[in-house]
């Protein structure tokens, strides 16, 4: 093998870099569950699967409807009418900001810009 | 070209069907582990193979004036004659793709007024350089962004990358610029092969397949983020299970598109060491890039030459001294006059 020293250093650097997804986790903790604290109410605006996947889109549409189209009524899939309002509708049940929103957002590095306008709920702190 | 697209679509379809009929463990656990092993072992094997190959000639490519007389200015980084210069050239090559920057395109004119006949003009062509640079850096950033799934808690450097990447604040989830630009760059690189007839003539399946595969990965990734959304908390639990070698699959709700994305990435990893994509480590082994241009000062000995049997002049004289003396040839040492 020619240039043995340089090649070996190169191979070591390459293997360390390429296997980084496997060892980088050792610097943190394990992640086995989301630890979300669910609110007591039975049903959300839409069903749970939709809300899990699409809540950000729904919130975005609600913002556009309320602020740009002055439409404050949302008709859900099952025909139920909801008032379009983060403060009065969403956060009526989802009061626990740290236990609900932040649980998934923090660990998945999601930083929504809801709170550049809205006040972060503190739940009476 | 279409065959490569069909192969990629077929891989995607197989993964999709697999996830539908309950083979998620095969495509989600077995395949990624196999892929990563093949990827790393394959690359190391390839690097050792290259390191064992002798370089018979000194063939550095020159991009400027080589070191000559003192009053002639040397291009220190385009035509380096020292190890330090070579390192700088390599860094510039890897980080800025300097040799692509020199890309030219030949245009022929049938009836050119300047020549009064046919004429060939070599125009500087920077598009390949721009879009390959765009592609590689976007890919790097997209790869780094994925580290939010590999570590808990997410380090702030990843969040900073995401904040910069999504600074336009379009939509929710926020649109990441690099994801879109990556697709734009790939589509350019593909169109270049399809619409430029000279490049289409020399393009083969192993040129089209990686492009379609990467487009497949990017499109499925974009789809997962903006359209057919994966639940990223579940994805993170799944990925952390994989990287901690204790995969969990039961109780997780992974959608088909995620399995397609993962399978396409696994395909890329398996394909990587056996394709032209190994230019990643290969660039460091290129004799045209890693040899200094000192061919006039240092003799490059071909390592596979057999050991040379030298016959020096003193040995020659020792062998033929008497005959040379008889013929009256001049000698360094006269023969012993005993007889």
- What does the pLDDT look like over B64-113, one tens digit per residue? 898 889 999 998 888 999 999 999 999 999 999 988 998 888 888 888 88
Report the residue from B153, B243, B303 with minimal CB separation from A21.
Answer: B243
Has residue A125 got a pLDDT over 70? no
**Rounded distance, CA B216 to CA B260, Å?**
9
**Predicted local confidence at residue B117, as pLDDT:** 87
Q: Hey, are the CB atoms on A108 and B233 less than 8 Å from each other?
A: yes
- Helix, strand or coil for residue B57? coil
Q: Hey, are the CB atoms on A108 and B150 less than 8 Å from each other?
A: no
Contact (CB, 8 A) for B214 and B208: no
Cα of B72 to nearest chain A Cα, Å? 33
**Average pLDDT of every residue of chain A:** 86
More confident residue, A90 or B221: B221
**Predicted local confidence at residue B195, as pLDDT:** 93
Chain B residue with minimum CA distance to A23: B243
Q: Return the percentage of chain A with pLDDT > 90, whole number.
A: 18
Q: Hey, are the CB atoms on B48 and A11 less than 8 Å from each other?
A: yes
- Helix, strand or coil for residue B156? helix
What secondary structure letter does DSSP report for A99? I
Q: Hey, are the CB atoms on B152 and A18 less than 8 Å from each other?
A: no
Interface of A with B in 48-107 (CB under 8 A): 49, 52-54, 56-57, 59-60, 104, 106-107
* φ, ψ for residue B309, nearest 5 deg: -90, 100
**Rounded distance, CA A111 to CA B249, Å?**
27
**Predicted local confidence at residue B93, as pLDDT:** 92
B237 closest CA partner among B217, B257, B219, B258: B258
- Helix, strand or coil for residue B106? strand
* φ, ψ for residue B136, nearest 5 deg: -65, -40
Chain A residue with minimum CA distance to B45: A11
Confidence band of A123 (pLDDT split at 50, 70, 90): low
Q: Hey, are the CB atoms on B284 and A10 less than 8 Å from each other?
A: yes
Neighbours of B330 (CB within 10 A): 6
Ranges in chain B, pLDDT < 70: 338-339
Report the residue from B51, B146, B151 with minimal CB separation from A3.
Answer: B51
**Predicted local confidence at residue B230, as pLDDT:** 84
Mean pLDDT of the A23-51 span = 83
Calculate the alpha carbon distances from B259 to B9, B168, B272 in Å.
Answer: 14, 30, 20
B144 at A interface, C-beta within 8 A: no
Query: Is the ipTM, as predicted for this complex, more than 0.90?
Result: no
Over the range A79-96, which residues count as b (16 or more CB within 10 Å of their CB) and which as e? eeebebebeebbbebbeb
Report the residue from B152, B172, B281 with minimal CB separation from A14.
Answer: B281
Alpha carbon distance, N-terminus to C-terminus of chain B: 87
Domains, chain B = 2-308 (1.20.950.20)
Neighbours of B104 (CB within 10 A): 11
Report the residue from B146, B172, B240 with minimal CB separation from A25.
Answer: B240
């Amino acid at each position: 093998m020619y240039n043995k020293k340089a090649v070996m250093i190169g191979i070591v650097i390459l293997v360390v870099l390429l296997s980084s997804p496997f060892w980088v986790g050792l610097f943190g903790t394990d992640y086995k569950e989301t630890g979300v604290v669910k609110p007591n109410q039975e049903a959300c605006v839409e069903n749970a699967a939709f809300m899990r996947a699409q809540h950000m889109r729904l919130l975005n549409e609600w913002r556009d409807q309320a602020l740009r189209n002055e439409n404050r009524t949302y008709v859900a899939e099952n025909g139920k009418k909801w008032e379009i309002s983060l403060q009065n509708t969403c956060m009526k049940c989802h009061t626990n900001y740290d236990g609900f929103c932040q649980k998934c957002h923090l660990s998945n590095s999601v930083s929504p810009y809801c709170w550049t306008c809205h006040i972060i709920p503190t739940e009476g702190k | 070209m279409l065959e490569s697209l069909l192969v990629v679509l077929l891989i995607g379809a197989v993964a999709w069907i697999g996830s539908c009929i309950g083979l998620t463990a095969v495509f989600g656990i077995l395949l990624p582990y196999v892929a990563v092993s093949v990827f790393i072992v394959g690359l190391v094997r390839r690097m050792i193979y290259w390191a064992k190959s002798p370089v018979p000639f000194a063939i550095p490519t020159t991009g400027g004036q080589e070191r000559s007389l003192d009053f002639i200015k040397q291009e220190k980084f385009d035509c380096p004659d020292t190890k330090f210069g070579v390192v700088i050239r390599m860094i510039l090559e890897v980080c800025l793709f300097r040799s692509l920057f020199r890309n030219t395109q030949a245009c022929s004119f049938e009836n050119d007024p300047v020549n009064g006949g046919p004429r060939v003009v070599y125009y500087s062509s920077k598009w390949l350089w721009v879009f390959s640079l765009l592609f590689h850096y976007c890919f790097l950033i997209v790869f780094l962004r994925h580290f939010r799934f590999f570590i808990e808690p997410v380090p702030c450097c990843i969040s900073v990358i995401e904040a910069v990447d999504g600074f336009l604040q379009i939509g929710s989830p926020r649109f990441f610029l690099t994801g879109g630009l990556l697709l734009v760059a790939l589509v350019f690189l593909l169109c270049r092969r399809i619409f430029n007839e000279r490049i289409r003539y020399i393009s083969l399946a192993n040129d089209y397949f990686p492009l379609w595969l990467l487009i497949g990965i990017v499109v499925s990734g974009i789809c997962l983020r903006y359209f057919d959304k994966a639940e990223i908390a579940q994805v993170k639990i799944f990925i952390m299970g994989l990287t901690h070698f204790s995969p969990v699959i039961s109780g997780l709700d992974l959608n088909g598109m995620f399995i397609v994305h993962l399978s396409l990435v696994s395909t890329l990893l398996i394909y990587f060491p056996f394709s032209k994509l190994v230019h990643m480590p290969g660039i460091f082994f290129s004799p045209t890039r890693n040899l200094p241009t000192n061919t006039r000062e240092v003799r490059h000995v071909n390592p596979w030459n057999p050991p040379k049997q030298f016959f020096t002049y003193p040995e020659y004289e020792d062998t033929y001294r008497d005959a040379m003396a008889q013929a009256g040839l001049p000698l360094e040492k006269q023969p012993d006059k005993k007889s």
